[in-house]
Amino acid sequence: MWYSDKAPVIEKKYSKSILRYFKVGTHLGLTINPYQGCHHRCGYCYATYKWSPDFYDKIYGKINAPEILESELNRWNKNLILPVMISSATDAYQYAEAKFGITKRCIQILQQYQIPFYVFTKSTLIARDLDLFRNYSDNCFIVWSITTTDEKIRRVLEPGTPPTTRIFDTIKKFVDCGIKCCVNIDPIIPFITDNEEHIESIVDRCQQLGLKRICGSVLRLRHDIWIRIVEILELFGISWATKEYERIYGFQEPFLHENSLSANTTYTDNVVNNLKAVISKKNIAFGFNELLQQITNSRQSYAISLKQRKLSEFV
Ligand code: SF4
């Protein structure tokens, strides 16, 4: 159950490996997940698989992740390495990070080895490490995930996240320091956050902060996500929308898909094109591929053995 007032249990665990490949469409990347489980309790979360039933209630800090990361980098047997995404299946700056500091230590290791990285987060705790990012701003960027500026909606959709106004305040600190940032309006949820006013209110705030990049995509459904979305639609008093979801996603109850199901092209194009039109009027670019390209290029000068790249060997 994503909605609960109880704080999760936080425990340590030891991992055997930390650097993992991931693939989204044709994009191949590397990721590290310093935590397992997530305190932010987003009802739409894609990381809640059936093999992690206590995803929201039990957070494991991979306490040996920095040491494992360093040893994996030392054993890396190629000259080049892909930029590292932090994280693909948890928020690396959730509350447990205040207790363990694992993400910070992993970032310090990546910086020691001059490896570019990018962080996906909806946390304000990341401001603790502002100096780390500022001193590495050519080789990193932050993607802030924001779904709504409406507090009533946020409290239901993602009850463990900080209020969006506080996230925007944090983004401002990063933008003001010249750290590359993008806001990711993801997921855009049919009948809850997909209307034009809703999208515009996020874009307007981004423009006020001086953000130059926004991206976004429509919710994908899977069996377990659908169960939560049905409850969310009920909580918002729009249960009738379940029939519209059947039409937009092309399924019939019972919804049993174990793999992600996308909304139909007509709906998706409509929503995404609307977002693109809104941001282009404000001179904001869509997507963060350019940022990825910038940090990927920045590492080419370090195309030598990783063992030799360790910064301490250069200073
Ligand atoms: S912050 Fe990300 S990983 Fe955490 S619950 Fe929300 S969507 Fe899932």
Q: Kindly state the average pLDDT of the residues 22-51.
A: 91
CA-48 nearest atom, ligand 1? 8
Residue 40, domain member (yes or no): yes
Cα(127) to centroid of ligand 1, in Å? 18
**What's CA 204's distance to the chain center, in Å?**
21
Residue 90 Cβ inside 6 Å of ligand 1? The answer reads yes
Domain of residue 125: give its range. 9-220+285-309
Residue 6 per-residue DSSP state = S
The set of residues, in sequence order, having a beta carbon less than 8 Å from that of 45 and lying 6+ positions away, is 2, 38, 55, 225
Share of the chain above pLDDT 70, in %: 94
Cα(77) to centroid of ligand 1, in Å? 32
Mean pLDDT score of the chain, rounded to an integer?
A: 92
Residue 175, domain member (yes or no): yes
| Dihedral sign for Cα atoms in the order 212, 24, 88, 134 | negative
Pocket test for ligand 1, best of 2, 35, 45 (most atoms within 8 A of CB): 45
Residue 1, domain member (yes or no): no
Question: For 215-228, how does the pLDDT look when each residue is reduced to its tens digit (9 = 90+)?
Answer: 999 999 999 999 99
Question: For 152-183, how does the pLDDT look when each residue is reduced to its tens digit (9 = 90+)?
Answer: 999 999 999 999 999 999 999 999 999 999 99
pLDDT value at residue 80: 80
pLDDT value at residue 299: 55
Residue 24, domain member (yes or no): yes
Looking at the 3D structure of the chain, how many domains does it have?
Answer: 1
Q: Kindly state the average pLDDT of the residues 262-278.
A: 98
Structure tokens at 158: 């993602």
Pocket test for ligand 1, best of 40, 44, 155 (most atoms within 8 A of CB): 40
Residue 146, domain member (yes or no): yes
Check whether 298 has a pLDDT greater than 70. no
Half-sphere exposure of 119 toward its Cβ, with a 13 Å CA cutoff?
31
Residue 79, domain member (yes or no): yes
Cα(53) to centroid of ligand 1, in Å? 14
- Domain with residue 59: its CATH number is 3.20.20.70
Residue 94, domain member (yes or no): yes
On whether the CB atoms of residues 22 and 29 are closer than 8 A, the answer is: yes
Residue 4, domain member (yes or no): no
Residue 47 Cβ inside 6 Å of ligand 1? The answer reads yes
Instruction: Give the H/E segment covering residue 271.
Output: helix 265-281
pLDDT value at residue 184: 98
Q: What is the pTM of this model?
A: 0.93
